[in-house]
Structures are given as structure tokens and as C-alpha cells.
Amino acid sequence: MSSKSKPKPKNKRSFQAPKGMRDILPEDQIYWEKVEQTIKNLADAYDFKRINTPILEDTELFVKGTGIYTDIIEKEMYSLRTKGGDKLSLRPEFTPAIIRAYLENGLSSLPHPVKLYSIGPIFRYERPQKGRYRQSYQANFEVIGEKDPVLDAQLIQLCFSINKGLGLKNLITQINSIGCSQCRPIYRKILTSFYRNKKKELCSNCQRRFQQNPLRLLDCKEAKCIQIAEQAPQIIDHLCEDCHNHFRGVLEYLDELEIPYILNSHLVRGLDYYTKTVFEIWPDDAEGRQISLAGGGRYDKLIKLLGGQDMPAVGFAIGLDRTINRMKEKKVKVFSRSRPLIFLAQLGDLGKKKSLKLFEELRKAGLRTASSFGRNTITTQLKIANRLKVRFALILGQKEALDKTIIIKDMISGSQEVVPLEKIIDKLKKKTRTKI
């Protein structure tokens, strides 16, 4: 058979992460650990209890809770049908799932307010862009069972505290009130009347929103729609007395806390369950004005909508991907775990066997130790020790294993000493105390 007629080998498929999703590599884990630990510490300080809900939920939970005409439901959910015929969706947000868990597991019988938080992934099929992935991560906080505006303000304060703990400063709150079931229908009619003669000037997306969800006309990012929205009547001028007093109370608390804010009459948040207060936290500088780090608001009717009692609630979510990107942009210093002071090098089968046991004993004694089991030459292992910048290297070979001794090498001075194996932990504790 000629070389020309030989069948060409089939190319092996090269797998990649799905579009809009990515791997979080080891060098980035230092940021994620810092963010999660900061959130956990402050959640505990503010008396929030952690709750984990399934990634998959009944699709109808989000349709009913979030709103059938929202972008999340219409365009962004990952949905599937199981072999048994159940229609499930990867959670696009936390709040409906947490309320479902609150109702299903009897948390409504606890003393109120019930304060819950979660950390985990959410999934939205939207166009990937900077800080926005199809699998992204959020920290979510909910306060259930309290209508006082002080809770709205305290959640904003918590959000600022988390960002401050992560080294992010110069933030500002964009805030608005979108009314309640009493005053919002009236404003909706006023808004619809304003837009009726301007409908043909709107983008195609807003022409659809005009019929289904007219409040969303206010936060369209298309230039021609922004110009029209600038002239639109503001909802804050049409609030009922209860909503007006509630919003005034929130702003007074923010003034007392000296939290910077601006009134944004176009901020409506794209979820149907919101009532009264809505807010977003933004960087207050030119480079950060295109992306919000957190957002939330009050949702006093959602629990009743999902089958519970008429119960007020308020919450917010922090976008962790965006937060970490911001930390990197601002060059926030994040310190890794303390590096190992000790490297355990082993030679020969017997040395390797004894080293496995010794490594565990060093760990239990609180002596953080690095090793490179599988590398058989002392030169290679000591190069790794140098790269790790350890202070001491332990060398355990065949001879040392038979003699029940071990060599301690000072990686700075180069000096070595032979120590009985049974005394090595006490010896290292003394050395690491005096020579760090």
C-alpha cells in the first residue's frame, strides 16, 4: 500500500468549557477564598444563617416568582425535562429558591425576622461579557418578616461592609422606590400614556415591553430609548403615602450611616417581585461606571405569591465574579496561606515509606510541610525546596531510615545536622520559633 493510500488518523476532539463558562484556576483561588471568608465572617456578625438550595428547581418556581415577561424567564434560563417528565431549570437567581426552602422546611415557624444567606453558582443564557458569565457566582442575603425601612438600610450597610473588607472603596448606592400594589398600577397607566405616542421610536425590545412590562422601558440601554426615558414621569412623584414614608425612612438611615447614594428614577430592577426599595451598588469612578457589583430590594408580596402568608422581605445579591475582577483591577493585595517552612525530601524505597508516616506526623504537629513524592533525586527535590523558599529541608534516605535519623538542612546557611528521628518534631518547633 502506498503512503498516499494510507488512511489518515482521525483527529482527537479537543474539549473546551461551554461558551460563557470557565474554569477557576488555582492561582485565582486565593481571591475566591478571601471573598468567601469575608462574606462568612460578616454574615455571622450580622446574624445571618447559611442555607444551601439545589442548583435545579421546578421551572414554574422561577416563572411564578420572577415574572413570566422578565428577561430571565423569556431568554436566559437553562431548562430541561427529566425522563419522568418534570420540567426543571438551573437556578438563574437565589431568591425564589430560598423562599421555597423557607416555606417547605418550616422556617416560617422560627422567630422573625429570619435572616438567611447563600453562596453559589447561578446560570443565565445571556451574552457573555466582562464580569458576566453563563455560570457565575453570587452571595445572596435575605431578611424575611420585617417591613421596617431600617432593614433596607442595614442590608446596604452590610453590602458596603463586605466590599470594604475586600479592599474595595469609592462605592455609591443607586436607589429608587418602585411603589407597591396600591400606587404602581396608577403610575403604570401614567407611564403607558406617556409612551403611547412614542412607541414607534422605541427599540424592538422596548416595543414588546410596552405591552408586557412597561416599567422596564425606563432602564433600556439603547441610546434612543434613554433619551425618551429622560422625559418620562418619575415614579417617586406618584408614590402612595406608605411607600413615600418608607422610602424617606430608608434615605434618612443612609444619611445617618453616611452611605453615599444617588436617586436614580430609572432604576427598576428587572424582576416582577420587587416592591418599594430597589438599589444597586456601583463603583464611583469612570472605569467602574458600566458595571454594578450588587443589587437588591424589597419584595413584600413574593412569599404570599409562592403559597405562604403575607410576609414582607428584603434582600440583595453580590456578583462575586465582578467583585473579584474589580479587586484585580484595583490591585487589592490578597495574602495566601502561609508558605511552608519545611520541605521533606526522601530517597530510596525505605526512605519513601518512612517519609509518608513522618509527613503526617509533621502535619498533626502543625508544621506545614511541602514534599515531592515521586521525585527520586535529591538534586531535583532541593531545587523544588529552593523554589518554595522553605527555611529547612529534611532529608530521609536509606541510611537515615536504617539508623532512625534524619538530616536537617538550613536552606539559607547550607549547614546540616543529623537528628534522631524521634526528636525531629521538637527540634523543628524550636528552630521555626527562633529562625523564621
Rounded distance between C-alpha atoms, residue 95 and residue 314, angstroms: 10
> pLDDT-based confidence at 71, cuts 50/70/90?
confident
pLDDT for the residue 186: 93
Instruction: Confirm whether 266 is domain-assigned.
Output: yes
CATH code where residue 376 lies: 3.40.50.800
Over pLDDT 70: what percentage of the chain? 95
pLDDT for the residue 206: 87
pLDDT for the residue 5: 55
pLDDT for the residue 215: 85
Instruction: Confirm whether 349 is domain-assigned.
Output: yes
Q: Per-residue pLDDT for 416 more than 50? A: yes
Amino acid at 211: Q
pTM value is 0.86
344 and 384 Cβ atoms separated by less than 8 Å: no
**Residues 259 and 385 occupy one common structural domain:** no
Instruction: Confirm whether 68 is domain-assigned.
Output: yes
pLDDT for the residue 305: 92
CATH code where residue 55 lies: 3.30.930.10
pLDDT for the residue 107: 96
**Residues 245 and 358 occupy one common structural domain:** no
Instruction: Confirm whether 205 is domain-assigned.
Output: no
Q: Find the range with the poorest average confidence among 70-74, 281-285, 390-394.
A: 70-74
DSSP letter at 75 equals I
**Residues 270 and 377 occupy one common structural domain:** no
What is the maximum alpha-carbon separation in the chain? 95
Distance (Å) of CA 126 to CA 78, 129, 133, 135, 141: 10, 9, 8, 10, 24
Nearest by Cα to 279 from 156, 184, 95: 156
Q: Find the range with the poorest average confidence among 60-64, 171-175, 204-208.
A: 204-208
Give tens-digit pLDDT for 239-249: 999 999 999 99
pLDDT for the residue 35: 97
Q: Find the range with the poorest average confidence among 32-36, 127-131, 195-199, 259-263.
A: 127-131
Backbone torsions φ then ψ of 341, nearest 5 degrees: -95, -15
Q: Find the range with the poorest average confidence among 50-54, 131-135, 259-263, 427-431.
A: 131-135
Q: How many domains does the chain have?
A: 2
296 and 259 Cβ atoms separated by less than 8 Å: no
pLDDT for the residue 69: 65
Instruction: Confirm whether 275 is domain-assigned.
Output: yes
Domain end among 276, 297, 329: 329
pLDDT for the residue 431: 85
Question: Which cell is 178 given?
Answer: 418602585
Instruction: Confirm whether 20 is domain-assigned.
Output: no
* CA angle at 50 for the pair 45 and 52, rounded to the nearest 5°: 160
pLDDT average, residue stretch 3-16:
66
Q: Per-residue pLDDT for 276 more than 60? A: yes
Q: Per-residue pLDDT for 122 more than 90? A: yes
pLDDT average, residue stretch 8-17:
74
**Residues 363 and 312 occupy one common structural domain:** no
pLDDT for the residue 436: 43
Instruction: Confirm whether 353 is domain-assigned.
Output: yes
> pLDDT-based confidence at 6, cuts 50/70/90?
low
Give tens-digit pLDDT for 342-360: 999 999 889 989 999 999 9
| Sheet strands (E) in 85-189 | 87-90, 114-123, 135-144, 171-177
> pLDDT-based confidence at 1, cuts 50/70/90?
very low
pLDDT average, residue stretch 291-308:
93
**Residues 322 and 349 occupy one common structural domain:** no
| Structural domain boundaries enclosing 424 | 342-434
Q: Per-residue pLDDT for 271 more than 90? A: no
Rounded distance between C-alpha atoms, residue 326 and residue 190, angstroms: 39
CA 146 to chain centre: 25
